[in-house]
Amino acid sequence: MSDMKSYVESVLELVKQRDPDQIEFQNTVKEVLTTIVPVLEKYPQYKEQKLLERIVEPERVVIFRVPWQDDNNVTHINRGYRVQMNSAIGPYKGGLRFHPSVNLSILKFLAFEQVFKNSLTGLPIGGGKGGSDFDPKGKSDNEVMRFCQSFMTELYRHIGPHVDVPAGDIGVGGREIGYLFGQYKRIRDAYDSAVLTGKGLTYGGSLTRTEATGYGLLYFVKNLLDDKGINLDGKKVVISGSGNVAIYAIEKAQELGANVITCSDSDGYIYDPHGIDLKAVKLIKEVKRGRIAEYATNHPASEYHEGCHGVWNVKCDIALPCATQSEIDLDAAKALVANGCKIVGEGANMPSTLDAIEYFQANKILFCPAKAANAGGVAVSALEMSQNSERLSWTFEEVDERLKVIMANIYRNAKANAVEFGDADNLVMGANIAGFKKVAEAMTAQGLV
Ligand code: NDP
């Protein structure tokens, strides 16, 4: 084993020993570190500086109690978190997730990914992530508001426009960001617009932020397809999820001429051979906050299938997982390849397990890793911060144009590093290396902090 491979192995072992139960975090650290060995060989000083040992340790983790009362005056206690992973290139930046599955391992994995993703955007933002095991599903607006106010009553002391700038993620959309911002403003008694992103348009939000992750995913995939001389027109696309990322991935895919035939939620999936009726999905999910099963009642040509996993058995040219982590396991990857899928673009964070990614690569699938392909959301969040600082609002077209340029740059940067380090089609390696190099250089310049 080369010197640097054994260095990486020793750091992976250290991570395992420190937090043996944090499986998701261990997996993402493994995914990143095993691909950057060629960079470590080129810059051996990183080993001397113990840079990897530092980069896998969050700069700070905050865990706190969130008490709140439901509409029947029953008291509930949830747990809140903020993981401030790395601030070498800018203030911590990353979403808040409200979902019963939230724990420290998942948030550390998301924060670690975020560090390199944010670096790839080319914008000055560090990496963080946070959230709670609170489940907004089935709660009234007032319950969600009381929870958000309680959550912010502790979080406010750890964030700020120059310190840490949270945004949305699963379970945290415009409604939640509004309540969180209102409480922050009330406690601080100051109008710090840039303390949160994903805000409403009437109080400092950016046009295109809602669409940015889904649109950005399609811009990334299109850059890859253009490079390979493949046309998106008429391609059958399977998409999972029906939340923020999925909805705007469907919208842009359809606009670019693709035929999107599925969407899903955690209960099941819709197959509509005529193409998903996006207006209906938006009505069910964004307005009624309902379940996707409802779609089939008004669309007789469509089918609803219980269980979200079956979506990967649908025959397609392109798969865009946009729901959650680990939704494509090895079996799902095998089914996709067997059914003729040629391209996988990750809209969700780490939706493919490590063995699924290996299987895709072994079968020459054109694979767009989340870190690069879904960076559009955070990129426009950073543009929202710029607009807040300027006290100006850019037009939809202006932000969309910048998003296109950012996604093209991310693609080119990942591709160039994949080529330079000897595996031209390996965008997992290319994206990891491109993201890592900038963070490592900044950490080195700033000394032992
Ligand atoms: P939303 O909460 O808006 O939507 C999530 C969707 O995924 C819902 O349809 C939800 O169904 C489904 N889902 C959630 N958990 C599971 C599960 N365990 N199994 C199957 N389906 C599930 O979240 P977003 O669209 O914002 O986020 C989706 C993914 O994209 C996440 O991985 C997130 O980290 C990532 N991401 C989001 C960004 C953003 O800008 N919003 C930016 C970059 C990445 P149900 O309603 O049943 O829960």
What residue type is assigned to position 53 of the chain? E
Q: Tell me what pLDDT residue 1 has.
A: 72
Banded model confidence at residue 122, pLDDT cuts 50, 70, 90 = very high
Give pLDDT tens digits for 342-381. Answer: 999 999 999 999 999 999 999 999 999 999 999 999 999 9
- 376 Cβ inside 6 Å of ligand 1: no
Q: Taking residues 236-246, what's their average pLDDT? A: 97
Residue 362's Cα: distance from chain center in Å? 25
pLDDT digits over 11-67, tens only? 999 999 999 999 999 999 999 999 999 999 999 999 999 999 999 999 999 999 999
Is 339 exposed, middle or buried (CB count within 10 Å of its CB: 0-12, 13-18, 19+)? middle
- Is 183 near ligand 1, meaning CB less than 6 Å away? no
DSSP β-ladder status, 259-260 and 262-264: unpaired
> How confident is the model at residue 177, as a pLDDT?
98
Average pLDDT over residues 272-285: 97
- Model pLDDT, residue 134: 98
Q: What is the mean pLDDT of residues 290-309?
A: 96
Residue 276, pLDDT score: 98
Could you tell which of 245, 322, 326, 350 is best to mutate to test the pocket of ligand 1, judged by most ligand atoms within 8 Å of the CB?
Answer: 245
Average pLDDT over residues 284-309: 96
Counting ligand 1 atoms within 8 A of each CB, the residue from 132, 244, 371 with the most, and so the one to mutate, is 244
Cβ(163)–Cβ(91) under 8 Å?
yes
Return the pLDDT at 2: 86
Whole-number pLDDT of residue 124:
97
The answer, yes or no, to whether residue 446 has pLDDT greater than 90, is: yes
Q: What is the pLDDT of residue 164?
A: 98
Give Dmax (Cα) for the chain. Answer: 64
* Ordered structural domains, the chain, with CATH: 60-190 (3.40.50.10860), 212-364 (3.40.50.720)
Closest ligand 1 atom, residue 172 Cα: 2
- The minimum-distance atom of ligand 1 relative to the CA of 241 is 9
Q: What is the pLDDT of residue 307?
A: 96
- Residue 74, Cβ neighbours under 10 Å: how many? 8
User: Running DSSP on this structure, what letter comes out for residue 129?
Assistant: E
